[in-house]
Amino acid sequence: MYTTLHKYFGYTSFFPLQEDIIKEALNRKDVFVLMPTGGGKSLCYQLPALLFDGITVVISPLIALMKDQVDGLLANGVPATFINSSLSFGEINGRKRRLANSEIKILYIAPERLFMPDFLEFLQGLKVSLVAIDESHCISEWGHDFRPEYRQLSILRDKFPQVPLMALTATATPVVQQDILTQLKLSGCKVFKASFNRKNLYYQIKPKDNPYNQILHYLKDRKNESGIIYCQSRKTVENLATSLQKAGYRALPYHAGLTPETRTQNQERFIRDDVEIIVATIAFGMGIDKPNVRYVIHYDLPKSIEGYYQETGRAGRDGLESDCILFFSYGDMFKIEHFILQKEAENERQVAYKQLRELVSYCEGNVCRRRLLLAYFGEQFNEPNCENCDACLEPKERFDGTIAAQKILSCVYRVDERFGINYVIDILQGAKSQKVLQNRHDTIKTYGVGKEYSKQQWQSFIRELIQLGYLKLDGDKYPVLKLHEKSRNVLTGNEKVFLTKPEEKLKIHHVETDKDYDPALFEHLRSLRKTMADREGVPPYIIFHDTSLKEMSIDYPQSLLALSKISGIGDQKLKKYGDIFVKEISRYCEQNNITPKQTTYKYPELSTKHERALTTQTTLSLYQQNLTIQEIAQKRGLAPSTIASHLEKLILDGEDVSIDRMVNPEKQNHIRRALNESGRERLAPVKEKLGDAYSYEEIRLVRAKMMCEGEKGG
């Protein structure tokens, strides 16, 4: 094994689980492999193929994947080939001759090819030593990328009764895992599960607010870095790729509407670093081994968490830090719902609704992204702070939301757990809808008790309670709210619930007062709008609403980026009218010697860093008033773990922070000893060694002191 590993692949050791999987395969046993992208799945069947006498057949869903894998194997000196629809009749016959002459060790085929009667007969005539089903989640109707032709792979056990099967996937929930095992008749086989945690990936969800300008801002200092931008439609792919090219970036499109030659060419140019950016639909990326993808951006909402996880997994395969950014909007969610309605099979619609709801819940969440992702795949993440997602690095302010939680839980209880989120909110806000009145829910105790918050804020609270495990959604297209066992303690007042503090809306975006806007500019813009509307034969408000023009008359935007911040201006309007309005505003400012206000954008990194530094300094100020971690947390409405992370950063930044009043010296000695024995990288083993008498916050502070002392000593 090790000789072959080094000879063909150039490694001297295996990744976790690889050696055990390969040994199981060499013993001619069935195997199920669940391993994240970059974990080394391919080697699990490629290395045994070299040690077996016959050939290994790999069933793969995409031509791009086959070509990529075969190119890599041939470069390593492994005799491999593929047979698919991209080949001519003569080329296929030539490859079949080489297979019959035992010149090939690994053959890649699509499932459709396997079911062609003449090809299946040909394959049964060869000495097949192993069949590997890559991307095996495609076999499950509960998976994110279900393909009906994969379902037929259940015949493999009958057609090749003596040949071991290996199913591999990078994304599978417990339900999907069981479905794969059942469909492939792999009951009793060993299941190998590597951790889904990709520590080097930074997960971030951003509200979608003119995503093209958001992307330009992100790419500003990343011209030489490779990245993938995923879009839902071919049209968006083409438009975005063209816009990026005009902005000076080397970007190419990739989608199923392009010719096979163009797709292949664009993929090759990306893999070879001839271009930095691929703008693609989900047709791109499955099985692509490019290791230096530094970012994956979801311009549009993906359809499921599994799809999202697999697509983000294409970043940072080399283990270096990489970004995964998703632009979230409810408009995208509605588009996906529209497509779901077009599905003819009821069970497919139910699965799709469930997947979409889970993804939206993930995007709306305010708890650790990594914890939610891993929990989705049945893996626990016990660290209090993953230190590599937006929710952990930039936590939103929290408040004692016990009363709000009690109102929600009580309402769900009083309607017998039979209604969904919006209906419960209608009751809390005292809505006089026909349905509420018809069900006589205007007579229950919780009717009208929630007028202090908006509908959107109540929705946010409910979704957070779901993520925290106090509520659950049951059902698919029309899910209803159900109570969890832990709801009881909140309802009886025995447990407090801390929720994310609602964000206050800025007046500037709603222009609630007219006194600050420039009436002369407003009239000038109204006149311009009327001229354009007449030319197009539409009412003026179709161009822009008055509220948009008034905001322009307050902020004087003189660039497309600044204009994109104005409410009511989406991608299409910015593209169609942006240049004209920006020029008019710039001309007006020049003629009237007006200097525009400093515009604060929603996503500038410098602003984020400044805010982060400010919140840390606030914690330092309270610490200097001799408050404890718990007292600081209570005063700021933040979690103790967040305050501990602030103090940890202050210590590492060289601030004079003594931890003696937060961790007594005797405890510090025990923690230091445990950190030296278990290592400083992960806190969970240290906490397990020390027991419940020691908190994660105490361990983090002592670790920071040790690291600081080590640096000074060095």
Q: In what order do the strands lie in the sheet with 201-207?
A: 201-207, 322-328, 293-298, 226-230, 277-280, 251-254
Amino acid 347: pLDDT:
80
Number of C-beta neighbours around residue 689 at 10 A: 15
**Percent residues over pLDDT 90 in the chain:** 30
CA contacts within 13 A on the Cβ side of 290: 29
**328 φ, ψ (degrees, to nearest 5):** -105, 135
CB of 469 within 8 A of CB of 367?
A: no
H-only helix segments in 76-187: 89-100, 111-114, 117-124, 148-151, 156-159, 174-183
**The dihedral sign for the CA sequence 384, 389, 393, 397:** negative
Rg (CA), the chain: 29
pLDDT higher than 50, residue 607: no
Provide the pLDDT confidence category of residue 609 given band limits of 50, 70 and 90: very low
Which residue, among 52, 20, 21, has the nearest Cα to 130 in the 3D structure?
52
Residue type, 197: N
Residue listed under structure tokens 């993808």:
293
Which residue, among 174, 323, 320, 195, has the nearest Cα to 684 in the 3D structure?
195
Number of C-beta neighbours around residue 334 at 10 A: 10
**167 φ, ψ (degrees, to nearest 5):** -100, 135
Higher-scoring residue by pLDDT: 714, 449:
449
CA distances from residue 481 to 420, 450, 470, 485 in whole angstroms, order as listed: 5, 17, 10, 13
CB of 179 within 8 A of CB of 141?
A: yes
Which residue, among 193, 557, 543, has the nearest Cα to 380 in the 3D structure?
193
**314 φ, ψ (degrees, to nearest 5):** -80, -10
pLDDT in tens, 132-158: 998 888 887 666 566 777 788 888 888
d(CA 481, CA 556): 46
Which residue, among 614, 697, 692, has the nearest Cα to 662 in the 3D structure?
697
Residue type, 218: Y
3-state secondary structure (DSSP) of residue 325: strand
pLDDT higher than 80, residue 570: no
H or E element at residue 330: helix 330-341
Provide the pLDDT confidence category of residue 346 given band limits of 50, 70 and 90: confident
Residue type, 535: R
pLDDT higher than 80, residue 396: no
d(CA 316, CA 324): 10
CA 350 from chain centre, in angstroms, equals: 22
CA distances from residue 658 to 2, 190, 453, 662 in whole angstroms, order as listed: 51, 51, 41, 8
Strand stretches in 255-339, DSSP E: 277-280, 293-298, 322-328
Amino acid 510: pLDDT:
30
Residue listed under structure tokens 């090809």:
119
Highest mean pLDDT among 126-130, 462-466, 690-694: 126-130
d(CA 526, CA 545): 10
Amino acid 288: pLDDT:
65
CA distances from residue 277 to 219, 225, 242, 247, 257 in whole angstroms, order as listed: 10, 8, 12, 13, 19
CB of 288 within 8 A of CB of 312?
A: no
**398 φ, ψ (degrees, to nearest 5):** -115, 160
What structural domains and CATH numbers belong to the chain? 2-193 (3.40.50.300), 201-346+355-364 (3.40.50.300), 398-500 (1.10.10.10), 507-591 (1.10.150.80), 607-713 (1.10.10.1390)
> What would the two tokens of residue 238 be?
């083409």
pLDDT higher than 60, residue 714: no
CB of 62 within 8 A of CB of 286?
A: yes
d(CA 659, CA 648): 10
Q: Which residues contact 413 (CB under 8 A, 6 or more apart)?
A: 483, 491
> What's the chain's average pLDDT?
83
Amino acid 103: pLDDT:
93
Residues β-bridged to residue 107: 57, 81
Highest mean pLDDT among 371-375, 516-520, 710-714: 371-375
d(CA 135, CA 130): 16
User: With a threshold of 0.85, does the pTM exceed it?
Assistant: no
pLDDT in tens, 42-93: 999 999 999 999 999 999 887 767 877 887 788 778 899 999 988 899 999 9
d(CA 35, CA 17): 9
Highest mean pLDDT among 293-297, 377-381, 469-473: 293-297
Give the mean pLDDT of 573-589.
Answer: 87
Provide the pLDDT confidence category of residue 507 given band limits of 50, 70 and 90: very low
Provide the pLDDT confidence category of residue 543 given band limits of 50, 70 and 90: confident
Amino acid 230: pLDDT:
95
Q: Which of 150-164, 255-269, 485-499, 628-642 has the lowest mean pLDDT?
A: 628-642
> What would the two tokens of residue 540 be?
């003026």
Provide the pLDDT confidence category of residue 108 given band limits of 50, 70 and 90: very high
SS3 content of the chain, % helix, strand, coil (to 5): 50, 10, 40
